[in-house]
Amino acid sequence: MRAVALLVSLAVSAGACFPNNPKAQTYAKLTEGGLVVAGIAMLFAVNTGADCDMMAKPGMPNDSCHTRATVLGDVGLGLILTGLIGFIATVSGSGDDKPAPAPTAKPATEAPPKAETPAEPPKTEPATPAPAPTAPATPPTNG
């Protein structure tokens, strides 16, 4: 149990060391992904207890094979969990992609704005109808 607590604390502390350094976060994510892959590969390659039973000679239990398989299986699982917890810690500890806008507050020394009197609307003169266009008066010609 102490080993699991140690692995969890190392994973969390490693992810929290550089919350504002994207390059280091990338390296941490790659390392933690490597831990997950290494754990999966280890579990794939390790003999299980059933394999030990198949290799045992009749009447002679193979306890050392069982012990080794259990320990290596636990180490592989620990690598996977450490990688996952470290990845979660690194991603959740990273800052936001976009910085928050700076608050814009008015200085306290500035006087409050004076109340303005409403301006009078511009005066408009009533519209006068335009005179109708007239055609030039020319007498009709007979011709």
The tokens of 52 are what?
């030990």
Q: Is residue 52 part of a domain?
A: yes
How many domains does the chain divide into?
Answer: 1
Asked whether the whole model's pTM tops 0.85, one would answer no
DSSP 95-109: PPSSPPPPP----TT
Q: Is residue 133 part of a domain?
A: no
Which domain covers residue 86, as residue numbers? 2-14+32-93
Q: Residue range 85-114: average pLDDT?
A: 69
What pLDDT, on a 0 to 100 scale, did the predictor assign at position 80? 92
Asked if 65 and 47 touch (Cβ cutoff 8 Å), the reply is yes
* H or E element in which residue 73 lies: helix 63-93
Q: Is residue 78, in this structure, part of any structural domain at all?
A: yes
| pLDDT tens, residue by residue, 16-66 | 566 677 788 888 888 889 989 999 999 888 877 777 777 777 777 777 888
pLDDT band at 11 (very low <50, low <70, confident <90, very high): low
Q: Does some domain include residue 50? A: yes
Q: Which residues of 101-127 are buried (b: 16+ CB within 10 A; e: fewer)?
A: eeeeeeeeeeeeeeeeeeeeeeeeeee
